Chains A and B, each alone.
Chain A
């Protein structure tokens, strides 16, 4: 059902230079597509979280299950498993291709850093089967020295509540 109380999005400001954010997101997508998972992990802050909700407009990852919800500790374990040669669900490995577009900056919600919203299309090929995922990324990015780091990454899949075979490669 459509939520009638929700607010119409505002036209994004043209004053913000999006190029640093776009460059960052494109780089992140490339690390994932090419399997540089340790380098991907290094983009996250020490208290980062990574979240793929299972419901549209899911309020939180604590009272409802999630396709993936990792605090920093579990994210490290997830990434370590990805490079284990005996990860049978990645034998053979998936190949993925991500396209990240429609980058905008979300209004300030009082949290540290900047929340960048973008659209993605992800094609995953594995064992004669090609799957298509699409949705919205929310990256809360914070500065650490000269570098940009991900404090929170939320992935809203269009088909988050569909029956799905296993999801192994992070979105």
Chain B
């Protein structure tokens, strides 16, 4: 089968400060992305706290393929294609669970936790080479699965760069998430939001570090929160939500003078934090956070606690499928479904050893920043839908991603940073990675022009 586009044609769709809109709308490009990006890169699938003991498993989807991620008997983490080696039925149907073997519902073949075939009913009359030892009778394992400080990534490709190289300096955002736990451990808790929109997967990552949009997109919730009287009854949850909405109202001058944006190889980036509210930022003075500081200092000492509190990041994007808020215990996983359909799953983390109330605040915060019924996120979803509608017109064929282009600067850790947070450098950086995956080049040509 020949690819829908030649390397030259693909290369021509990505210019230094603009990209062709076809990249967001063409089903053939989407199929190439599934095979060249999502089936090659390291992709986040879940957290080790979801599979603490041998036999614990959860199901996941990568490049639209159903997988089961399981803690095997020897404690290792395996990822299996969720397909019976007999006649193809999906073996594991639950989202998560615990088991000592996998059994197919069709003819009862059973599998060990690592995917090897265990037993076959009516095991007679098969050809000579049929045996439970034959690798062809196993649930097929994903070639590379590795976790970094509890975060599980996998690659559907048997070869490629190591996870360490892939993450590069962006590992510091994963470090930050873990280092914030007084006991040094995170736990996924508090349920999952699943939201969908009619739009391309790239739109989601492109919005998460977009410091120029809240003032417009979120003006209805900013105004409503600013007008809210504070002496009305709150059990604490609404207060967190309203404080967060008010923070979104920071003016351009703030984003341009106080907040930065940093990008790194492989499409990763993070936006500096913009919060100055004592109930939202652990570094500021609040009774719950004071208790948290005591717990941190007791376990980690004053110096380390101070170092952790000084790390101030908003969204960290790990291209192509994950975005996290290390400072706020949130994580989002992006699932491309079709060129114009995306599903996003969002998770909260509990910091082991932190006060109970802190996690309750994390849940309230999740409701406003990631909630399907949030007063904020619903306007972001509307934007993704509207970009899709806009791109279905015959308007401009090129998408402009040039804001801040002339003032990108090198970063000491091998990346590029914007002059300030309103730069679209993180989008340009994702398209460098896109080129790298889709064309096998490093994106160097684009950087030269820059």
A/B pair count, beta carbons within 8 Å: 146
Query: Once the chains are docked, how many angstroms separate the CA of A163 from the CA of B95?
Result: 14
B375 contacts across to A, CB distance below 8 A:
77-78, 81
Specify which of A46, A54, A77, A91 is in contact with B228 (CB 8 Å cutoff): A77
Query: Chain A 157-171, CB within 8 Å of chain B: the 1/0 string?
Result: 000011111111000
| Nearest B residue to A81, CB-CB | B224
Query: Once the chains are docked, how many angstroms separate the CA of A165 from the CA of B360?
Result: 25
Query: Once the chains are docked, how many angstroms separate the CA of A55 from the CA of B189?
Result: 13
B224 near A77: Cβ-Cβ < 8 Å: yes
Specify which of B235, B238, B363, B372 is in contact with A164 (CB 8 Å cutoff): B372
A89 near B228: Cβ-Cβ < 8 Å: no
Query: Once the chains are docked, how many angstroms separate the CA of A54 from the CA of B373?
Result: 10
A74 near B372: Cβ-Cβ < 8 Å: no
> B242 in the interface, Cβ–Cβ < 8 Å?
yes
A66 near B194: Cβ-Cβ < 8 Å: no
CB distance from B364 to the nearest CB of A (A): 8
A78 contacts across to B, CB distance below 8 A:
224, 375
B377 near A166: Cβ-Cβ < 8 Å: yes
Query: Chain A 54-79, CB within 8 Å of chain B: the 1/0 string?
Result: 11001001111111111111111110
> A52 in the interface, Cβ–Cβ < 8 Å?
yes
Query: Chain B 384-415, CB within 8 Å of chain A: the 1/0 string?
Result: 01100000000000000000000000000000
| A167-B224 contact in complex given A55-B191, A65-B348, C-beta closer than 8 Å | no
| Nearest A residue to B365, CB-CB | A65
Query: Once the chains are docked, how many angstroms separate the CA of A97 from the CA of B253?
Result: 44
Instruction: Give the residues from 137 to 171 in chain A that come closer than 8 angstroms, CB to CB, to chain B.
Output: 161-168
CB distance from A19 to the nearest CB of B (A): 31
> B378 in the interface, Cβ–Cβ < 8 Å?
yes
A65 near B196: Cβ-Cβ < 8 Å: no
B238 near A74: Cβ-Cβ < 8 Å: yes
Specify which of B193, B235, B245, B386 is in contact with A65 (CB 8 Å cutoff): B193
CB distance from B4 to the nearest CB of A (A): 28
CB distance from B328 to the nearest CB of A (A): 13
> A84 in the interface, Cβ–Cβ < 8 Å?
yes
Query: Once the chains are docked, how many angstroms separate the CA of A91 from the CA of B193?
Result: 24
Query: Once the chains are docked, how many angstroms separate the CA of A166 from the CA of B221?
Result: 14
> B237 in the interface, Cβ–Cβ < 8 Å?
yes
A73 near B242: Cβ-Cβ < 8 Å: yes
Query: Once the chains are docked, how many angstroms separate the CA of A109 from the CA of B3?
Result: 65
B194 contacts across to A, CB distance below 8 A:
161-164
> B234 in the interface, Cβ–Cβ < 8 Å?
yes
Residue in B190, B239, B378 with the greatest tally of chain A CB atoms within 10 Å = B378
A-B contact pairs, 17 of them (CB 8 A): A52-B373, A62-B360, A63-B359, A65-B367, A71-B238, A74-B238, A77-B225, A77-B375, A80-B228, A81-B223, A84-B219, A86-B219, A86-B220, A88-B382, A165-B195, A166-B377, A166-B381
B residues whose Cβ falls under 8 Å from a Cβ of A: 189-198, 217, 219-221, 223-225, 227-230, 232-239, 241-242, 245, 343, 348, 359-360, 363-364, 366-367, 370-373, 375, 377-379, 381-383, 385-386
